[in-house]
């Protein structure tokens, strides 16, 4: 398949939330308590909610910027591409990058919305509901067919979480962001019957639970002295642990329609993982009492888990060892792993290197995403207008040049010290 003929749906991208997101959706009685974006004297913008201060981290919004500006220091909205927080500019960036549709994870509330947990349960749920309504009705609703809607959970209250899953499903949202390790956040583990109502709601509404790397808030670092390269290398390991935890869990056996996505976890590790769980089952099931009803764990994995990749040459090569129906593509805009606006070129290079046939390509680049997330962009956009070439033609003249945007010069040594300080704080908090 020619690069220009690809149809690309990304199942992992991110929003930098705009300052007015709560205006139209939070009840009036809570307006004064809503999170607010504050502009500081040093030029940075931070979200403030009660005692919590959430900066916008530079690694989270580097699309279109030189690599010298990557880092963990806070930044202002005027230092990042408008497509990070303005949905109309986002769609222009998507067109220029040849991407038909995206699924956008949250930023400042965290992947599991733990920020919104307060002593006032009504306020907490109102914040989750307001965020989801803004995301579904304003962000996704502004350009039908261009976004797979995703909901935040009321993770601190399983009944409220179930209520929200069912409510947003009626609005056409079949994707829930969650944490890969609820126990690490102080909640019952995946094995606890506490979550049974949520598993049932997910199955009833055909909703995918998305476990994003780092969603429990833990930094994957061997030690507080490790450089950031170690953390970035190890980020997918949180999802390896989550996959191992869940494949042997009771919910996987009791809820046959349960669907779980390992978001931004890559695919290259999965063939070995499947080999390992089958070997574990063969050697130990007699005393661990694991029973998959006559199936191998690897078969059950393919029934329940969705994986995704940015380029992953090894994963693409071994796609049938993983399961061709279990792989989606991701762009990760505007994060530092993203190749925007040249993702089609990189992806096509990998597909060509391994001589991937059109049937497999189409599954990985858009068909699996449509099926798993109950999403059909072609009810709004003609298929011939959804290709890389057609979208880029629409974006003719849109500026995608690399531009320096940071207003402050931060030396590499300062960036590294900021990372180590964060690692030390995270390690202390874990203790």
Domain around 254: 11-430
Kindly report the CATH number assigned to the domain that includes residue 82: 3.20.20.140
Question: Has residue 5 been placed in a domain?
Answer: no
For residues 272 and 314, give the distance between their C-alpha atoms in angstroms, rounded to a whole number.
Answer: 12
386: DSSP letter: S
pLDDT tens-digit map of 211-250 = 999 888 765 667 778 888 888 888 888 899 999 999 999 9
Task: Give the pLDDT of residue 268.
Answer: 96
If you average pLDDT over every residue of the chain, what do you get? 94
DSSP-assigned beta bridge partners for residue 9: 101
Give Cβ neighbours of residue 52 (< 8 Å, ≥ 6 apart): 115
Question: Has residue 95 been placed in a domain?
Answer: yes
Question: Has residue 409 been placed in a domain?
Answer: yes
Gap between the terminal Cα atoms of the chain: 52
- pLDDT of 191 over the 70 cut: yes
Task: Give the pLDDT of residue 218.
Answer: 66
Mean pLDDT of 67-95: 92
Q: Grade residue 429 by pLDDT with cuts at 50, 70 and 90.
A: low
Number of structural domains found in the chain: 1
For residues 20 and 165, give the distance between their C-alpha atoms in angstroms, rounded to a whole number.
Answer: 24
Is residue 9 packed enough to be buried (19+ CB in 10 Å), middle (13-18) or exposed (0-12)?
Answer: buried
Mean pLDDT of 48-60: 88
The overall pTM is greater than 0.85: yes
pLDDT tens-digit map of 249-294 = 999 999 999 999 999 999 999 999 999 999 999 999 999 999 999 9
- pLDDT of 431 over the 70 cut: no
Question: Has residue 339 been placed in a domain?
Answer: yes
- pLDDT of 422 over the 70 cut: no
For residues 132 and 134, give the distance between their C-alpha atoms in angstroms, rounded to a whole number.
Answer: 5
Q: Grade residue 389 by pLDDT with cuts at 50, 70 and 90.
A: very high
pLDDT tens-digit map of 259-269 = 999 999 999 99
Question: What is the DSSP track for 200-246?
Answer: HHHHHTTPEEEEETTTTS----SSTT--HHHHHHHTTHHHHHHHHHH
Task: Give the pLDDT of residue 227.
Answer: 83
Strands across the sheet with 305-309, in order?
175-178, 208-212, 259-263, 305-309, 327-329
b/e code 145-180 from CB counts within 10 Å (16+ = b): bbbbbbbbbbbbbbebbbbbbeebbeeebbbbbbbb
Question: Has residue 234 been placed in a domain?
Answer: yes
Question: Has residue 148 been placed in a domain?
Answer: yes
Q: What is the 3-state secondary structure (H, E, C) of 293-339?
A: CCCCHHHHHHHHEEEEECCCHHHHHCHHHHCHHHEEECCCCCCCCCC
Task: Give the pLDDT of residue 235.
Answer: 80
Which residue has 């290197």 as its token pair?
A: 353
């Amino acid at each position: 398949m020619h690069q220009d003929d690809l149809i690309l749906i990304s199942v992992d991208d991110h929003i930098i939330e705009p300052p007015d997101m709560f205006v139209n959706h939070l009840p009036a009685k809570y307006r004064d308590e809503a999170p607010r974006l504050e502009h500081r004297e040093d030029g940075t913008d931070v979200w403030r909610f009660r005692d919590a201060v959430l900066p916008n981290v530079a690694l989270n919004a580097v699309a279109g910027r030189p690599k010298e500006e990557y880092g963990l220091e806070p930044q202002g909205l005027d230092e990042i591409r408008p497509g990070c927080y303005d949905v109309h500019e986002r769609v222009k960036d998507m067109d220029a990058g040849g991407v038909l549709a995206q699924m956008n994870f949250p930023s400042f509330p965290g992947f599991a919305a733990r920020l919104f947990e307060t002593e006032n349960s009504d306020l907490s749920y109102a914040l989750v509901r307001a965020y989801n309504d803004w995301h579904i009705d304003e962000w996704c609703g502004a350009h039908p067919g261009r976004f797979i809607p995703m909901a935040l959970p009321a993770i601190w209250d399983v009944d409220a979480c179930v209520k929200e899953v069912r409510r947003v499903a009626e609005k056409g949202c079949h994707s829930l962001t969650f944490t890969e390790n609820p126990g690490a956040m102080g909640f019952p583990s995946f094995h606890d019957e506490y979550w049974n109502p949520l598993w049932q709601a997910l199955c009833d509404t055909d909703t995918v639970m998305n476990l994003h790397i780092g969603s429990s808030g833990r930094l994957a670092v061997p030690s507080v002295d490790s450089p950031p390269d170690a953390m970035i290398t190890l980020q997918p390991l949180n999802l390896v642990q989550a996959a191992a935890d869940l494949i042997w869990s009771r919910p996987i056996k009791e809820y046959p329609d349960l669907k779980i996505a390992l978001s931004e976890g890559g695919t290259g590790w999965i063939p070995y993982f499947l080999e390992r769980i089958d070997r574990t089952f063969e050697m130990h099931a007699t005393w661990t009492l694991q029973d998959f009803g006559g199936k191998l764990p690897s078969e059950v994995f393919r029934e329940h888990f969705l994986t995704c990749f940015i380029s992953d040459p090894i994963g693409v090569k071994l796609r049938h060892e993983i399961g061709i129906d279990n792989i989606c593509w991701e762009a990760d805009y505007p994060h530092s792993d993203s190749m925007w606006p040249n993702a089609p070129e990189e992806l096509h290079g990998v597909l060509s290197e391994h001589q991937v046939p059109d049937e497999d390509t189409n599954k990985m680049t858009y068909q699996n995403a449509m099926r798993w997330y109950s999403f059909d962009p072609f009810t709004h956009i003609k298929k011939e207008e959804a290709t890389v070439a057609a979208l880029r033609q629409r974006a003719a003249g849109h500026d995608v040049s690399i531009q320096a945007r940071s207003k402050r010069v931060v030396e590499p040594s300062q960036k590294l010290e900021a990372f180590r300080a964060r690692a030390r704080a995270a390690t202390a908090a874990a203790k």
